[in-house]
Structure 1
């Protein structure tokens, strides 16, 4: 199968590239500023904000599947408009699309969210992700939309780097005790995405970890795994900090998990 991974140089993108290449697919991956290093992969420069460039690349590569993992949190044009460009191009070329979305589309008011819950974002990033979902559903109805949560690795994610820095006093900050998510391991997430890409599934799917944990609890798990003193981690309540944004957002994956061979582990299991 010919698979194009848009945003292949990012944290999730690199794992998608690795797994797709390992499974023997013909893989191309795009990057904005710097290509990845995976061997046997065609690296292609692409700015998803350029509709003509997106259309030209997707048409030229002749993909069976496009997986869109590209985003930039503060940039509406990349996260929302860029996603629309990818959706339009895949639809025009009759190409299967898997679009990666986020639990940021929800406010946290309901706490637990299933796939049929209506997005109610309260941040610009959440609004951009919700707009991207709408563009994908309207433009390419057969597409898969994968909503996920905080992505963790084996020490190489941005959240893990933050925890290590806080634990050794390298930077100032707070891990919130009331900011709850369902962290997912990047390998589990990528494997589930590849499964869905190779299936006949369509529509919204939730792919997140089995455990709902606060950022502080997750930080303690990471610190202990890395041999650091979790007692040194600064903590507090987001509610007291006055920061805008969702606090407790839990993606219910009960409808998606039965369709996956990949088991979505919880953070208490995969952070060891």
Structure 2
């Protein structure tokens, strides 16, 4: 589910490269290959499609930050469809389920969201646990692509003089989209269940992340405006560091930190 997004496209690419038969879903942008139009908010349509395709594994990477029905209800519909067909479910969640009050969070931490999006993600997690206890709930952080994530686009815009700033007191554990997709596929083929933190090793501020992207892409890092989230009035947590120690010990896929995966130049297509 969510096959036309940054993560969905990478999961599809890696699975097909491994010789697996993959069917994806989309809502607005049709990806290449075997793709099915689906409104994840429609429970009957989700269940009907999963019954028709009969997948062994369902990876749900679909979300819409401003829409509870897509993120919370949609996650519930996918869990119901997986349970009805016996499919293995890997549900992608977010560090947005936490308030930031604790700073560091491992897999045992209880969600305490402070934004509507975080609440929707937490609700979806609750539904998945209740409906499909054997599912994997994979919490992740800022997903960095190979030039095409929203964070990279923002850095390029700011370096070019666009208004805005990057917070120096807003900490996350960014993950490379390739590492994340590989880890999700590895978890899908494993016997593991429950919550896993699939985020990059080590925390960076949004400003440091911007500097790392600028250095990789040959931009002027000194042109990136900096600011403090504290006092900005913007909603959302400032310090959410997902501890991936437990999950990393289960995986052969290495979840690199941003300082490592952004040290290499972009691959030439």
Relative to the length of structure 2, the TM-score reads 0.97
The whole-number CA distance in structure 2 between the counterparts of 1:270 and 1:257 is: 16
Equivalence for 2:225: 234
State how 1:206-225 maps to structure 2 within 5 Å: 206-225=197-216
**What is the aligned counterpart of 1:140 among 122, 132, 156?**
132
Task: Report whether the alignment pairs 1:103 with 2:95.
Answer: yes
Task: Report whether the alignment pairs 1:202 with 2:193.
Answer: yes
Equivalence for 1:80: 72
The whole-number CA distance in structure 1 between the counterparts of 2:254 and 2:138 is: 15
CA offset digits 1:102-154 (Å, max 9, x no partner): 00000000000010100000000000000000000001111000000000022
Structure 2 SS opposite 1:218:
helix
CA offset digits 1:55-84 (Å, max 9, x no partner): 100001011000000000100000000000
**What is the aligned counterpart of 1:268 among 239, 250, 259?**
259
The whole-number CA distance in structure 2 between the counterparts of 1:34 and 1:221 is: 30
Structure 2 SS opposite 1:224:
helix
Equivalence for 1:25: 20
The whole-number CA distance in structure 1 between the counterparts of 2:219 and 2:89 is: 41
How far the C-alpha of 1:95 sits from its partner, in A, is: 1.1
Equivalence for 2:119: 127
Task: Report whether the alignment pairs 1:92 with 2:89.
Answer: no
How far the C-alpha of 1:174 sits from its partner, in A, is: 1.0
Which of 127-136 and 238-247 deviates more?
238-247
Equivalence for 1:36: 31
The whole-number CA distance in structure 2 between the counterparts of 1:191 and 1:264 is: 9
Structure 2 SS opposite 1:74:
coil
The whole-number CA distance in structure 1 between the counterparts of 2:216 and 2:54 is: 43
How far the C-alpha of 1:244 sits from its partner, in A, is: 1.6
Number of aligned positions between the proteins: 263
Aligned-residue Cα RMSD (Å) equals 0.7
How far the C-alpha of 1:240 sits from its partner, in A, is: 2.3
